[in-house]
Structure 1
Amino acid sequence: MSRVHTSRWDSLQQWSPTLFLVGGGLLVGHTAMSAVHAFTDIPTPPDAFVTTGHFVALVGLLGLYPVLANGTRRLAWAAAAAGAVGLLSWFVMTVTRFFELVGIVSSLGDALPEPFFLVVLASTILTYVLFGVATLRVDSSWTVGLLVLAPGGLTTALVVDSALTGVSALDGMFIGGGLALSMLALGYTLRTWNRPTDHVAAAGDVTAG
């Protein structure tokens, strides 16, 4: 199969570790705000940390696409397609949150329809799962693949918790903390990751010619 080597993708790939570190750092801010809500009555501004953190991390995740496309093209393409939906969704969420901060809209819930949030969560989970599985297929160490899967698993836990009992500030603190740690760990690991750039395409992805 043809190699994915464009200057734009290469640049994004190089920035991927830093973007995960920034996204994880922003989610540390979200965790801190959740802790304030859980243990005090101190009012806080709208939480732009969580939306911006997820958006930045997804940009970083797309930076893995060139490596994965060289090893498992179809799965990488599906992951990138889901990631594009998730990225656009979190961009809308982030812009809307900043509109809320400056008083243009009253809240995310009032500004955006309820089905939109389902799209955000579903596309986020699917993106991390597909990228995680693709990484496990091309990387024999499994470390990066499991770290990529972690945010998807934690987001799934958030959805299940919300459906069963409703998400409290304490739940948000623990899940947000887990997301922050997983993204920080992923960013740190990617800095020294021995990328499988010469991986032979998986049998199911080999095309004639």
Structure 2
Amino acid sequence: EEEDVPDDGLTSTQRSKLKKKMLLEKEGKGAVKAGGAKKDKEEDGGVAGDDQAAADGGADAAAPAAPAAEPVWDEVAEALSTGKKEISCVRDADDALPVDPALWRCTAANRLVLQCGLRGDGGVLAGIATLSGLTTLVLSDNALEGLPGAALKELKALKTLECENNALTCFPDETRKLKSLEVLRCGRNKLASLAPLSKLTNLVVLDASFNSLA
């Protein structure tokens, strides 16, 4: 018996096959679309991941070191250019620049004279710790009320310390670390005690005249 022919000219069998074909095509397109979306997401994620990795890498990378300070004082410039071992800076007080920061790069120095109206507790001298080769340090004729103990104790080769005519009231406890010290001139200050000096077994010369010692 012949199958009925509907208005579209297809038999029911042909129509069934056509629907099945269309359904398969639809499912195939859906799979392709989903796969493409997944791929795009992975690519986007990869790009984002790469960007994040780069950002993280940038954050982890060490920041470039700041350029070294250019010398301001002629004495410091000369010492840096020639490797001079004895540096003498005798200047008027300058609150804007109490000490040339480049001075702390003169690591070849073994003798340093700083007479430039230095004031306060010695904080401006904190950088002196880098000059570990100093054997002589002259800080006389300033207006210092204290010495930088944490920096001073790094001067393990120091043999002579002159800090006369300041306003020192005491020596920091770290002074006892100056085991090589042989000469200490600290007259004309406001010292009331020399207790930290009791451990300086190599001290040969001590001038503490004109102080407030009992």
Q: Please indicate the TM-score interval, normalised by the length of the shorter structure.
A: under 0.3
Report the TM-score, using the length of structure 1 for normalisation.
0.20
More contact order relative to length (CA 8 Å, sep ≥ 6): 1
TM-score (norm 2): 0.19
Q: Which is helix-richer, 1 or 2?
A: 1
Pick the structure with more strand per residue: 2
Q: Which has the larger radius of gyration?
A: 2
